[in-house]
Amino acid sequence: MLLLLLPILSFLLLSLFLILLRYRRLSVQLPPGPKPWPILGTILHVGSMPHVTFARLSQVHGPLISLRLGT
């Protein structure tokens, strides 16, 4: 049983590491914006009224912001 779980766990950890590494590298080149969650991005920041949310985010981060809606 352990021999079956070890490769699966190793693959999941490696995949998560590569996603986070790529995610950090891309975020350096983007304009300011809310801090995104891994895999989900900033989709949780957008509420039921996106125009109000975007206006609030532009007051906080400036007129040019970056949003990642997923990976």
pLDDT per residue as tens digits for the range 1-48: 667 888 888 888 888 888 877 766 555 676 777 777 677 667 777 778
Q: What pLDDT does residue 61 have?
A: 84
Three-state DSSP class for residue 55: helix
DSSP label at residue 48: S
Three-state DSSP class for residue 27: helix
- Residue 13 phi/psi, 5-degree rounding, is -65, -40
CA 71 to CA 6: how far, in whole Å?
Answer: 26
Domain-wise residue ranges, the chain:
2-61
Q: What pLDDT does residue 26 have?
A: 55
Which residues face 41 on adjacent strands?
37
